[in-house]
Structure 1
Amino acid sequence: MDLNVVQAFSIVLLILAVGEFVSIKTKALVPSVFVSAVLFLIGFWTILPADIVTQSSFAKPIVYLSMYLLLTHMGTLMSVKELLAQWKTVIIAFSGVLGIIAMTMTIGNFIFGWETVVAATPPLTGGVVASILMSTAASERGLTAVAVLATSMYIMQGFFGYPITALMLKKEAKRLATKVKNGEVEPNHSKKAEVESEKEKRNFVIFPPLPEKFQTTYAILLKLGIVAALAVAAAPILHINQFVVCLLFGVIGREIGFLEEKALVKSGSFGFLMTILMAFIFAGLSKATPSMLTEIAVPLFGIIILGVFGMAVFSMIIGKMLGYTKEMAFSIAMTSLYGFPADYILTIESARSTTKDDAEYKYVIDEMLPKMLVGGFTTVTIASVIIAGFFVKLL
C-alpha cells in the first residue's frame, strides 16, 4: 500500500496518540510504549504497509539526527556532579546483566540448547547492535532459526519490559512523592538548592549565557548540533560509542555554559524529535511476522522469562546493598530490555501519574530520571555490545 507522506504521518501519529491517551487514562498502569507497540504489531499483521514509518518521512538520516540531538539534550539534564554520583546505578545495571547471563547460560542452556541461548542472550541484555551481531553470526553459520530468534529477541523483549518497569517506577514515584508531601525532604528547586546550583555553575562556566532574546530555536539547535558533531567526531578517537559521547558532551556543554539546561525543551523541538525516534523504533515490529513468532515462541519467551527473573534477583540484592529500593534497582536493570528513549518516557509517565504538584514532580524526576538514563546507557549501549562481541566467538 502506497500512502502519501501526510497520510502515513497521520496514521503513525494516531497510533502514538492512542498509546499516550491510554497511558493517561490508566495513570501509566498501561504505558504508552506498550500500547503503541501492540497497535503497530497488529497493524503490520493486517493493513499497515511495512514501510509506513519511512513513508511518513521518518527515514534513517533524520532519525540519527534526532538521536544525536536528543542524547546531547539529555546531557543538559544532568550535571557532572550528578553523573559521577551514579556509580551505584552503573553497578546495579551491570548486576542485572549478569543475572540475565547466569540464568540463560545455566538453566536456559539445559532447556533450549547452547546455540539458542548464545544467540539470544546478548540481544536480551539490550541493544540493536547486539541483535545485529548475533543474527549475522548465526546466519553465516547456516542457523536460520537462531538468527531469527536473535532479531525477534530485540523486537519482543520490550513487551515484557514496558509494563513491569511501569509498575516498579510507579511504586517508586509514589514513595518519593510521599516523602515530599510529609516534609521528609526538601525539593531540589528550593531557594537553598538554587543558590548552591548557581554557585556550582559559576565554578565551571566558560561561556556566558546568551541573552534571553537570542535564545531562539535556531540558536539553541545550532549549539546542540555543534556539540553533537564534536561528539561524533571524538567517538572513534575515544573508542566509545558515539551515542554515549553525545550524552557526555551534553553534560560538559551545560557545565561550561555553552548549552542551555533542557536545551530542546527551550527550543520547542523536543516533542517532535522524540516522535521521530519512537516511530522509527516501532518500525522494527514490521519484521515480527506471525509465522516467525510461532516458530521461535517457546525459546523466545522462555529465555526472556529466565533472563528477567535472573535480572530481578541480582539487581535487587545488589541494590539493597547499595541503599536502593528493590523497585528502583529492578527498574534500572530492566532498561536492558528497551533502553533510550523508552526509559525516559516510562519515567516521565510514572512521575506524572503519581505526583500532585510541581514540587513532588520535580523531586521524583530528579531522583529517578538520572538513574534510568545512566542505567539504559550502561546496559544497552555498553554492556550489550561488549557481551555480544564475546558471545559471537562462542556460537
Structure 2
Amino acid sequence: MRGARTAALGALSLLLALAGPVGCAGDTAEPRRTLTVLGPWTGAEQQPFEELLGLFEAEHGVSVEYQGTTANREVLLSGLLAGDPPDIAVLPVLGDLVDYEREGFLEPLDKGVVDEEEYDGGPWLAQPAGMEERHWIPVKVDLKSIVWYRKGTEPDLARADADRWCVGMGSDATSGWPGSDWIEDILLQRSGPEVYADWVTGEMEWTDRPVVEAWETWGEFMSGGGGRAAREALATDHRGPEGGDGLLFGTGPGGGCDLEHQGSFARHLYGPRAPEADFVPSPRLLPGAADRDGRDREVSADFAAMFRESPEAQDLMRFLASRRAQRVWAKDEAAWARGEIPFFSAHEGVGEERYPAGGGDTVSRRIVRELEEARRLCLDASDVMPPMIRRVFYEKVLEFLADPGQDPTGLLERIQEVQEESGRQYVQRFRRKPDRLDQVCR
C-alpha cells in the first residue's frame, strides 16, 4: 500500500491526477491534542489569523501550530507524499480541493459545521453537484472586479490607456495569473455571468466566440504603445519592487503607475501606503465592458479543508465557520486605528455595519457594500478549474503577452485540447463524466 501511495502522490505532484483511492498515514481514533494548520497568509496577514487560533486554543485546550507560506500547494503536496499532511489546510484554489476530495484525501465535515443559511449571499458553497457531504468551508473572501488608484487622482475612462496601468505577470510558480484575472473579468463584463459560468465549468469551449473576444480585447489593449505595456508586464512582478509598496506606489518598470486591476487583497502589498489607495468597480474602466455601471463582480475565496479527521479538527472547522470567529477575525475599530487591514468574510453575519462608517477605513466598508449589493458574484475562473487546465491557462497568458496582437485561437485550441484530455482521463478512471460545479455564479 505504501508503494501505491507513493506512486499516486508522485502523479499528484505533477498533475493532481492520482492513481487510486488512498488514505492518510497517522489516522487514529485517539483524540489529537495538537493540530497543524497550513495556510497562505504570511507577514501582516498571518498575525490576525494566529490571534484567532489563539482564541480557539484558550477555549478548547488544544494547541494549534500554524504554518504560513505562499507556496502552500507545494508544501501540502510534500506532506501528502510523506504521508504526513496537516490536519487542516487553507487553499485559495477550489479546483485543487475538488481533486483532493475525488481522490479520498479530504475528510467530510460533521453535520452542522456549516450553517448553509449563513452563506446565501454568494457562490461560497460551490461544489460538484453530485457531492452530498461538505468537505470545505470559505474562511476569507476578496473582491476582484475593482481597479485601485491613488487618492486624489480620480481615474478618467478617456485617459485609461495601457501605459497608465500597473500590470505585472510575475508570481513565482504561478506567474501569469494576473493576466487570467484580466481575461476573466473582461469576459464577465462583456458576456454576463451565464456565459462566464458555462466557460468555467467546461460547458463552453475555449474557442467559442465570447472567450476569443475576451482575449482579443485584452490583447488589443495591451498592444498599446507598440506593445511596451505587454513587454513590461512580462518583466514585472505583481508584488512590485522588492522592499517597496506594491506596483501602485513603486518605482521602476511597472511601478509608480496610476491604475491597478487587482483584488481587495492588494492593500497588503501597498504596506504603509495602503491608506492612500482607493478603488472604483472595474466595469467603469475595463476595456470592452458592455455596461459601465454593471453590477456583476468576480470574487475569490480561501477555503479550509480537513486532511486528518479528529474531534479537535472538527471543532476547529466549526469554530472557523462560526459567526463569532469571523467577526473576531474582521477586527474592530481599535485595530483599524493601528493601521491593520481587515479581511472580508463570506459569512452573512459580518456585513457592512461591522466596518467604521467614518473616520476609519471607509474603503473596506465600500468593498463589503460591493459584495453585498452585486447582482451576481462569480468565483475566480482559474481558481475553479482543474489544476492541469489552470496551469496551461497561465502559460498561454504569458505566451499571448509576448505578442498581444496575435490571433489567440491557436493558444485557446491548445487549452481546449488539455481540457478534453482531462475529461477523457476522468471518464477512464471513474467510469462517468465529472459532475458540474454548481453555484459558480450566484
TM-score (norm 1): 0.29
Relative contact order, CA 8 A, sep 6+: which one is greater?
1
* TM-score, L = length of structure 2: 0.27
The structure with the greater share of residues assigned to strand is 2
More helix by share: 1
